[in-house]
Structure 1
Amino acid sequence: MRMRTTRDGRSAVLVYSALDRLHTCVGTDVPWMVLPTERLAEVRDAAPFDLVLLDVVVPEHERAVGR
């Protein structure tokens, strides 16, 4: 799972509420997985993050292609 750093230095995990929103917000050439929200605590234990951001549009110049 890829984390992003916010302008104020916090780490964030981006989550999307539907596949069409993922494609609209970050493009179609990104790996993805389905994860129940209650499992985010396990993710945080393995790779700590400060924020969960929902359906955030990532500018095209910041998108990771094929990663």
Structure 2
Amino acid sequence: MVYVLCAPVRRGDNQLTVDLRQTREGKLALLAYSTLDRLVDCCGPEQPWTLIPTADLEKIRLDTGFEIVLLDLEIPEEHRRRAEVS
């Protein structure tokens, strides 16, 4: 199992959207975290997430086209998700 970042859920959404990031080299990356504590430390408490079996990573890759998985990567403060203001 890994914790995977999701895009913020909007009213009326019925599915989660995996939050992919582009690397400096231009590759599309899926960010995954080994523990929830690690995710919060690396991404902040407002980052949406979901827990998935590692066996599902290939299906997500086929659905989204990500090129690499980055594990336990710290996201700089300026690139972290923030709570949306209503």
TM-score for the superposition, normalised by structure 1: 0.94
Helix, strand or coil: the match of 2:39?
helix
One-letter code aligned to 1:57: E
1:22 maps to 2:33: no
Q: How many residues align?
A: 67
Helix, strand or coil: the match of 2:38?
helix
Computed over aligned residues only, the root mean square deviation of the Cα atoms, in angstroms, reads 1.1
1:31/1:66 contact within 8 Å kept = no
One-letter code aligned to 1:40: L
Q: Distance in 2 between matches of 1:34 and 1:65?
A: 20
Q: Which residue of 1 aligns with 2:71?
A: 54
Q: Which residue of 1 aligns with 2:56?
A: 39
How many percent identity over aligned positions?
42
Q: Which runs of 5+ in 2 are unaligned?
A: 1-17
State the structure with bigger RCO (CA 8 A, min sep 6), 1 or 2: 1
Q: Distance in 1 between matches of 2:83 and 2:20?
A: 16
Rg (Cα) greater in structure: 2
Q: Distance in 1 between matches of 2:80 and 2:24?
A: 16
Structure with the largest fraction of strand: 2
